[in-house]
Chain A
Amino acid sequence: MIHLIGVNKYFGNNHVLKDINLHVKPGEKVVVIGPSGSGKSTMIRCINQLEKPDSGDVIVDGINLIKSKAQLKKIRQEAAMVFQQFNLYPHKTVLENLTIAPILVQGKNRDEAEQTGLEFLARVGLKDKAGAYPSQLSGGQQQRVAIARALNMHPKIMLFDEPTSALDPEMIKEVLDVMVDLAHSGITMVCVTHEMGFAREVADHVIFMADGQILETGTPAAFFDNPQNERAKQFLSKIL
């Protein structure tokens, strides 16, 4: 479903992704962890080309995004992203946030987009907030709306870029609950997070990154209980 092959990325002289190879099968849940500045976010943003790699290939759902740029719009609809800062559209109501892209990008009619939108709002427990503006919601609620907004594109892949890092502690759980529920629905997920409990519960693979490299890949049990890489051991000893 997702293949990053030999991906390199520089910010100026800073080599932030070093020969990254990542393969995610359909329906797999992959959790990416690692210290700040390790390139996790940059990597996940390469999948939908919010960052353009300097070399290497990015293949999503069979389409090489480096070679066929014209298909990017299609892939971006299939791979929806949830951001650390939510990035809801503040001038639109919650329901409009969910429907604007399906209507304008996917050409759905308004009724259909609103109907599915309300279903997804119900699924994240916020159906009663359909008419509210994002600024009237708590951080946790905003992030749940952002997840519903992503789902209303009917994506095959969900990309989460540190979805709980900007939240107050008491709001993290409500977002994670939605993500766990989503994980059980069979969608392909790539999630950059510091939530180790979540990683243990839903991940098929945990990927550990540091200094722009993937240093270890394994099942949650193998990785958390018996890490092989020295940097991974150090990292886990500090956070667990």
Chain B
Amino acid sequence: MGVNNPFALYKWQALFDARDIFIDGLTTTLEVAIGALILSVLLGIIFGIAGVFPNKFIRVLNRVYVEFFQNTPLVVQVVFIYNALPQIHIVMPVLLIGIIGVGLYTGAYMAEAVRGGILSVSKGQLEAAMSQGFNYWQAMWYIILPQAKRVMLPSMANQAINLVKNTSVLAMIAGGDLMYQADSWSGSNMYYGPAYLTAGVSYWIICFLLSKYINKLEKKAEV
């Protein structure tokens, strides 16, 4: 058992000694994931409602946003923000690039989930609310969205989990996240086995806990 075993014990030892690097990466990954999740849910609600808005111009905005971000690779989007925006003097810390990049991308999927949820609520609900004097936003907030939640939540949950995994795109722009740290640490000493396994298991744990939490929310949303 020696150099040829990718999971040799001494490689694990080395990883344990370098644990601070991995903890750093994990922290960055969590920060980006939480920030991007908040951003994507906000964008999802805004653009999801835009997708069913009475005004046609607003609906077109929804389509442009969704079609653009869903149909180009996340990697390209993030690399673009990282490399192209500084050309027009927009320079952001890499953490913020991660939040914005992943948030914008996932927001497009969230918007589709929200739109689908709203469309699943019968048209009569909006009419009943309007006939009682609710304005559009009150009707949305108090009548439509609470009913749409049941349909929205499962697909938003899938997107949240994809989002966590997609934060690994930051490795492409030296983002200091878990994937980047695993990659650069093992790139210098060739201990790929423990590095990637640790990274993979960490992503799995985050996503597993997240999906358990969302399951709970879904149960609560059922009337």
Contact = CB atoms under 8 A, between A and B. Distances in A.
A4 interface: no
Contacts of B135: 73
A129 interface: no
Nearest to B150: A91
Interface residues of A, number: 23
A11 B79 CA distance: 49
Contact of A89 (B125, B130, B138): B125
Interface stretch (A28-36, A53-61, A76-84, A206-214): A76-84
A105 B132 contact: yes
Contacts, number: 56
Interface string A83-126: 10101111100000000110011100000000000000000000
Contact of B133 (A77, A88, A89): A77
Given A50-B130, A91-B147, A133 B223 contact: yes
Interface residues of B, number: 18
A135 to B, nearest CB: 8
Given A89-B125, A104-B142, A81 B131 contact: yes
Interface string B194-211: 000000000000000000
B223 A104 contact: no
Interface in A158-217: none
B28 to A, nearest CB: 39
A83 B147 CA distance: 19
B67 interface: no
Contact of B223 (A73, A83, A91): A91
Nearest to B131: A81
Contacts of B132: 76-77, 80, 101, 105, 149, 153
Contact of A90 (B129, B131, B134, B147): B147
A89 B128 contact: yes
Contacts of B142: 100, 104
Given A83-B124, A87-B125, A104 B131 contact: no
- Interface of B, secondary structure class, is helix
A21 to B, nearest CB: 23
A218 B127 CA distance: 31
A106 B132 CA distance: 10
Interface in B124-174: 124-125, 127-135, 138, 142-143, 146-147
A80 B124 CA distance: 14
A85 B127 CA distance: 11
A48 interface: yes
A89 B139 CA distance: 11
A149 B133 CA distance: 13
A50 B134 CA distance: 12
Contact of B130 (A76, A91, A106, A153): A76
Contact of B128 (A74, A77, A83, A104): A83
Contact of A87 (B127, B138, B146): B127
Contacts of B146: 91
Contacts of B223: 90-91, 133
6 contacts: A77-B132, A85-B122, A91-B147, A100-B142, A104-B142, A149-B132
